[in-house]
A = this chain, B = another copy of it.
Amino acid sequence: MALARLKGFEKLTNVDEALSIFLKALKPKRLGSVNVHIEEALGRVNAKTINSPIDLPSFDRSAVDGYAVRAKDTFEASQFKPKTLQLTNTDRVGEGKAKQAWTGNPMPKGADAVIMLEHTKAVKAGIEVFAALTLGENVSQRGEDLHKGDVVVESGTRLQAHHIGLLAALGISHITVVEKPKIAILSTGNELVELGKEPQPNQIIDSNRYIIAGLIAELGAQPLNLGLARDNQPEIGAKISKGLAKADVVVTTGGTSVGAADLVPIVINKLGKPGVVVHGVALRPGMPTALAVLRGKPVFVLSGYPVAATVGFEVFARPVILKLLGIEHEPRPMLNAKLTRRVSGVLGRRVYLRVNVLRRENDFFAEPVRTKGSGLLTTMTRANGYVIIPEDREGLEQGETVVVHLFAPIGGT
């Protein structure tokens, strides 16, 4: 690569190294927490490991529809030699007795097993039992789901429907969840206009803000809009400072290539230390990404190109925002799929290839989305996942099994 190409950054940093340098400079810590009712907790991140205050279930119960009995009263019963037990309606099952018990009913006192309806026959004297039971057979034991003290939900877990249900079952109505990271978004560039204004010839409407805001919301964080900044240092500096004052993270798009308007990294370095710690990453798309730290907060300086900005966000901002949420690892859904055609990589760069995964019976195929550049938004809306072409591969072969990271549902049958 010719020297002229590199005036903005001395060299391209390997992706893993870039993230490592950045995390070392940033030392991200989980944000504070807030107490909420469990009805408000769906999708939030649990801030404190919760242990069960009780046994669940809190009493022995029948696991089937049938009759609660004493196991030893059935010991000699068989299909050919049934034993007859008398029905009782009291709270206690004595010797030779049986009490109807539907699935989930508490076990009456004295009973220690449940005979399934199918293995009984109603007779005048009560029921005939056609099978021998072992002690505890067909009984859900107290504490079978959780014992008192067992871990219910670990800290750092994103709460889904069943976590909430389990908390309710334990009588836990309020929990502490991690605060939503506030993430300020700034779009820079003289060519940009706000949505709602009529673009003049050669102007374009800012779309990055909406993409980044969407990606932030999908992570369970809160986007804050800093609007547009023109390509001038005081304006960019003022808006980044405003973002740092009211948000936990700042994301900018535009003004980071080696082109004429490579202003954002310059401005950041004037705002404080350490400033930009990585500029230029061996990543495609997303090469001009810069990573900075100001006032202890992360600043992600992403390309003005929507797809490049998306990949820069995915690779660097996503894991850091997850760390602020207290989540160490939350991969997108993944799967193995067969690549439908050969694609080229770039030795020394990590390439994010957009693909469309289709299901055919029980096989999955990944069709690379044809694209000419990182400016084409439709390459994202036509894709449902990405495949990483590693730095040491010149390309991926047709028919090769690749790991796809999904961001939209799989089509096909």
Q: Which of B4, B305, B362 contacts A122 (CB 8 A)?
A: B4
Report, nearest first, the 3 A-B pairs whose CB atoms are least far apart. Answer: A161-B214, A102-B259, A333-B333
Question: Hey, which bits of chain A sit against chain B, CB under 8 A?
Answer: 1-2, 4-5, 38-39, 42, 56-59, 61, 63, 65, 100, 102-106, 117-118, 120-122, 140, 144-146, 152-153, 158, 160-171, 173, 191, 195-196, 198-199, 201-202, 204-215, 217-218, 257-261, 304-306, 310, 329-336, 359, 362-364, 372-373, 375-378, 380-381, 401, 403, 406-411
A214 to B63, CA, bound (A): 26
| Cross-chain contact B59 with A165 (CB below 8 angstroms) | no
Take A160-B214, A304-B104, A372-B144 as given contacts and tell me if A362 and B336 are in contact as well, using a CB distance cutoff of 8 Å.
yes
| Cross-chain contact B1 with A118 (CB below 8 angstroms) | yes
Copies in the complex: 2
Question: Which residues in B have their C-beta under 8 angstroms from that of A359?
Answer: 331, 334
| Cross-chain contact A336 with B333 (CB below 8 angstroms) | no
Take A104-B191, A218-B161 as given contacts and tell me if A205 and B117 are in contact as well, using a CB distance cutoff of 8 Å.
no
| Cross-chain contact B375 with A408 (CB below 8 angstroms) | no
A-B contact pairs, 19 of them (CB 8 A): A4-B121, A5-B117, A57-B375, A58-B199, A61-B375, A104-B191, A140-B373, A140-B375, A153-B381, A161-B212, A161-B217, A162-B211, A163-B381, A164-B213, A166-B378, A167-B210, A169-B204, A333-B406, A333-B409
Take A145-B375, A378-B145, A410-B334 as given contacts and tell me if A38 and B210 are in contact as well, using a CB distance cutoff of 8 Å.
yes
Take A1-B118, A58-B204, A160-B214 as given contacts and tell me if A410 and B168 are in contact as well, using a CB distance cutoff of 8 Å.
no
| Cross-chain contact B207 with A168 (CB below 8 angstroms) | yes
